[in-house]
């Protein structure tokens, strides 16, 4: 069967109008690009597509089984949680993803969160805007701890390309880096047991996937067992952390701070527990650690290569 029709269901999740798409557009005779696709319109837009690109638009089992022309799904991300992989396997639909395209972007975002929480810069900046500096008795405000990274230990859970990139920047800043296993796993020779890492690290950064094993891994008991004054960073997936427990721990002063780029529901509802005004020492960013212009272009370029490889009959980055 000739592969000539493709649809990108959520191009706007990757492209802000600043990316080069010409090479991607040339992969097939006919492309339809949509900024976003509501769930009710997916079936219609993908009805005759031989190839679908999706980032986070969900492709459930019933939908995949109904798309008779579909031969390939290309995921504009590494995670494939949005796709019913078993249904794709049943239909012999090839599923490929993109990998290792945003390590530098995520690593600098993580380091930025650590620096902001260790030095208190966002919080001091807010106090300046509120007039505290103008009313100060001295020339300088420094009544909130300002910590130096070289004296801190960073614990990393998840040591793939993202974890390694974060570790390299942390070491360049003089941090001691420890690697840990996910909760419940027997530690490998180069890893600490989960509990040992959580009790010894000044900063913990999560880079593991969301699975049945890691879902809810960081809960109330774990947070209470962390080192006094610890900082938690999550740029992995929101569901790894029990979010209400994190909000409660910050309110109780059990952590020095947290930096979160991912939430369990995205976009989050206004009443999400980590968006409450009274949660202190928390920085929430809108799932954009990965989204430098360079990383987004790398995603598109790798998608182009993945599709061309499939068309040659030699799929790469194959998940199914």
Catalytically annotated residues: 237, 266, 287
In the DSSP assignment, the letter for residue 188 is P
**Burial per residue of 218-249, b for 16 or more beta-carbon CB atoms within 10 angstroms, e otherwise:** beeebbeebbeebbbbbbbbbbbbbbebbbbb
Residues 116 and 259: beta-carbon distance below 8 Å: yes
Whose tokens are 């078993």? That residue is 86
Say if strands 94-96 and 257-260 run parallel, antiparallel, or are unpaired: unpaired
Cβ count within 10 A of residue 185: 13
257 in helix, strand or coil? strand
Cβ contact 107:290 at 8 Å: no
Q: Strand, coil or helix: what is 156?
A: strand
């Amino acid at each position: 069967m000739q592969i000539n029709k493709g649809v990108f269901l959520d191009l706007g999740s990757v492209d802000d109008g600043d990316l080069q798409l010409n090479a991607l557009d040339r992969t097939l005779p006919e492309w339809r690009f949509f900024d976003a696709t509501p769930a009710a319109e997916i079936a219609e837009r993908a009805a005759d597509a031989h190839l679908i690109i999706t980032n986070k638009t969900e492709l459930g089992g019933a939908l995949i089984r109904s798309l008779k022309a579909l031969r390939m799904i290309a995921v504009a991300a590494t995670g494939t949680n949005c796709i019913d992989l078993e249904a794709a396997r049943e239909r012999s639909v090839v599923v490929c993803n993109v990998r290792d395209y945003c390590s530098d972007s995520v690593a600098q975002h993580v380091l930025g969160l650590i620096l902001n929480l260790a030095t208190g810069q966002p919080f001091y900046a807010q106090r300046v805007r509120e007039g505290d500096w103008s009313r100060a008795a001295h020339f300088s405000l420094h009544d909130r701890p300002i910590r130096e990274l070289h004296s801190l230990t960073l614990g990393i859970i998840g040591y793939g390309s993202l974890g390694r990139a974060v570790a390299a920047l942390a070491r360049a800043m003089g941090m001691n880096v420890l690697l840990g296993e996910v909760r419940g796993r027997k530690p490998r020779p180069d890893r600490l047991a989960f509990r040992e890492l959580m009790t010894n690290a000044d900063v913990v950064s999560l880079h593991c996937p969301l699975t049945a094993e890691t879902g809810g891994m960081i809960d109330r008991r774990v947070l209470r067992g962390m080192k006094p004054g610890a900082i938690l960073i999550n740029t992995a997936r929101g569901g790894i952390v029990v979010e209400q427990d994190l909000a409660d721990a910050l309110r109780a002063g059990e952590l020095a701070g947290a930096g979160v780029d991912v939430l369990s529901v995205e976009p989050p509802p206004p009443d999400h527990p980590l968006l409450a005004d009274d949660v202190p020492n928390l920085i929430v960013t809108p799932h954009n650690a990965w989204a430098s212009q360079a990383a987004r272009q790398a995603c598109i370029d790798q998608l182009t290569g993945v599709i061309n490889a499939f068309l040659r009959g030699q799929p790469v980055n194959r998940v199914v």
